């Protein structure tokens, strides 16, 4: 019974991470577009965001490889399980797909707010990975441990550039309302949505990969 529990736990966890990593790197494209227009001479910030995007893509590929090694497809999860999705919906009142990139470019306050949302999301992700690496359920799977160690190493560089940009341009750091929103989303996922997902035996699996229609070379795949 414990083995079945562990398999289900890893299945759910990896499916959620796979979704969030894919959502992460595809969403960062519009952040890059905005920065290249707003601050074309800020090579350091642009390079940091490019690295962030590349890392998210790499992480997606690693979780995809984990499923391939298991010989199965991920569970079909959607934006209800996406931390950044929920954050954007609450702060901006629209989905990520409906977020107006031109408004992000044109309105400084909107771009500043988006940077804080990304920063808080990535900080939350770093803290979560630290906890997962201590979990016996994760330690039992050497491939999953390897993935999360790589993610742990990458995470600081995913939020620090946004914090530093806010500081050096005189923008305010995260508001208490934004921090409270981040806290609420995490608790909502942890205690409501993920348990429901775990206990739902009718949840289907994906029939294709999220990046199936993308035309870019995949990072070097993870090996067992």
- Whether the pLDDT of residue 222 is over 70: the answer is no
Q: Please, is 23 exposed, middle or buried when counting C-beta atoms within 10 Å of its C-beta (0-12, 13-18, 19+)?
A: buried
Q: Which two tokens stand for residue 189?
A: 């996922």
The pLDDT value recorded for residue 2 is 83
Q: Can you give the pLDDT at residue 184?
A: 96
Report yes or no: 178 and 91 within 8 Å, Cβ to Cβ.
yes
The string of pLDDT tens digits covering residues 106-137 is 898 999 999 999 999 999 999 999 999 999 99
Q: Phi and psi (nearest 5°) for 205?
A: -100, 155
pLDDT given for residue 174 in this prediction: 95
- CA–CA separation, 176 and 174 (whole Å): 7
Domain ranges across the chain: 2-199
Q: What is the DSSP letter of 205?
A: B
What CATH architecture applies to the domain 2-199?
Answer: Up-down Bundle (1.20)
Read off the pLDDT of residues 142-159 as tens digits, 9 standing for 90 and up.
Answer: 999 999 999 999 999 999
**Residue 16 and residue 10: Cα distance in Å, rounded?**
10
Q: What is the pLDDT at residue 199?
A: 94
Position 224 confidence tier, pLDDT thresholds 50, 70, 90:
very low
What are the Cα distances from residue 19, in Å, to 61, 99, 126?
A: 11, 19, 17
The average pLDDT across 49-66 equals 97
Structure tokens at 197: 């997902």
Task: Quote the pLDDT of residue 8.
Answer: 96
**How would residue 220 be classed by pLDDT, with cut points 50, 70 and 90?**
low
H or E element at residue 11? helix 2-38
Residue 221 has pLDDT above 80, yes or no: no
Quick one: average pLDDT of 41-52? 95
pLDDT digit string, tens, across residues 5-16: 999 999 999 999
Task: Please state, in angstroms and rounded to a whole number, the distance separating the CA atoms of residues 55 and 28.
Answer: 11
Give residue-wise pLDDT tens across range 15-40: 999 999 999 999 999 889 889 998 88
Percent of the chain with pLDDT over 90: 83
Which residues are CB-contacts of 92 (< 8 A; sequence separation ≥ 6)? 99, 110, 113, 114
Instruction: Look at the block and give the residue holding tokens 């001479």.
Output: 41
Per-residue model confidence as pLDDT tens digits over 87-100: 999 999 999 999 99
């Amino acid at each position: 019974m414990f083995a079945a529990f562990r398999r289900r736990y890893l299945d759910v966890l990896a499916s959620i991470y796979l979704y969030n990593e894919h959502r992460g790197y595809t969403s960062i494209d519009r952040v890059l577009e905005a920065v290249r227009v707003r601050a074309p001479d800020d090579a350091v910030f642009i390079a940091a965001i490019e690295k962030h995007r590349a890392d998210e893509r790499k992480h997606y590929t690693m979780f995809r490889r984990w499923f391939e090694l298991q010989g199965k497809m991920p569970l079909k999860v959607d934006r209800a399980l996406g931390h950044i999705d929920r954050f954007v919906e609450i702060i901006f009142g629209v989905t990520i797909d409906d977020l107006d990139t031109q408004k992000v470019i044109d309105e400084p306050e909107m771009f500043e707010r988006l940077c804080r949302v990304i920063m808080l999301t990535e900080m939350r992700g770093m803290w979560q990975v630290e906890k997962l690496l201590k979990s016996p359920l994760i330690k039992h799977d050497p491939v999953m441990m390897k993935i999360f160690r790589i993610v742990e190493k990458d995470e600081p560089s995913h939020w620090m550039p946004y914090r530093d940009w806010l500081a050096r341009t005189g923008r305010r750091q995260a508001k208490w309302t934004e921090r409270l929103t981040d806290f609420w989303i995490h608790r909502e996922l942890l205690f409501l949505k993920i348990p429901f997902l775990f206990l739902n035996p009718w949840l289907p699996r994906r029939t294709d990969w999220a990046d199936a229609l993308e035309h870019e070379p995949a990072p070097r795949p993870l090996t067992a």
